Structure 1
Amino acid sequence: MLAGSALAAGTALATDTAGLATARSISDYRDALRLARRRSKVALIDIGAEWCAVCKVLDRTVFVDPRVLTLLGQLAFIRVDVTAMDADSRTLLRHLDAEGPPTLFIADTRTGRELPDTRSVGRISADAMVARLLPFAEPA
């Protein structure tokens, strides 16, 4: 998980100043989309878990790449944490039509719908992440 998250007042939804929200339930996910809407028209949705070895590799390699960080600074970023793999996690995974981590896709922050051809499952390189995010970045 990315460092720097703090619990938002009165909710289990964790957020930070960089635009990252962490969702652990459908309710959290909807709240995260509502917050993300203020930042961007789209959000990168990152489904991960503390026990996911590939997720840890992505955190150490892809999500620290300066190019990826620059692009993420122009979008909203919602981390879906299914570490607990409890009823809320499984319901959220079904809602997102995902089998588990790591799964990444771009979603419309207004509707929550996944944008076509933006999903990846498993490993992704920093170069591929840049290519995925670039079309959604705000022009400089």
Structure 2
Amino acid sequence: MKFSRAENSVRSTDRSTELFETLSSPRRRTILAVLEAGDASSVSELVTCLLAERGLDEDASALRRRAAVSLVHVHLPWLDDRGLVDWDCETGTVALTAAARVCDLEAIERIASTGAAAGEIPTDASTGEHP
């Protein structure tokens, strides 16, 4: 099936918007960075990294539970649906996909944070988080 330039442009714009929406969440940016660095491979390890990055008590069970719920019900499904991570909800394992490894996530994050400073990145509608 062939698409016109206009249709391809719309597809490209939609993909860019989706990427910026993905990176508008500090939690999703952290998840991607942690996985890219090879520092985590399970939901539990990601929770520890998220809490440590925010300077929160990694051992506080209520915080761990809330962070885990947020990952399992919002962020990991979002990233998995967009092909950036492979998440096995039964085993709790998480890994970057080959597609995400090809992306220069650090460069994309720099662009995203520049846009965030200028107010150009939308709020994460699923969680209401701001970058």
**Would you call these one fold, judging by a TM-score over 0.5?**
no
The structure with higher relative contact order (CA 8 Å, sep 6+) is: 2
- Which TM-score bucket, shorter chain as reference? under 0.3
With the length of structure 2 as denominator, give the TM-score of the two structures. Answer: 0.26
When you count helix as a share of all residues, which structure comes out higher? 2
Report which of the two structures shows the higher radius of gyration computed on alpha carbons: 2
With the length of structure 1 as denominator, give the TM-score of the two structures. Answer: 0.25
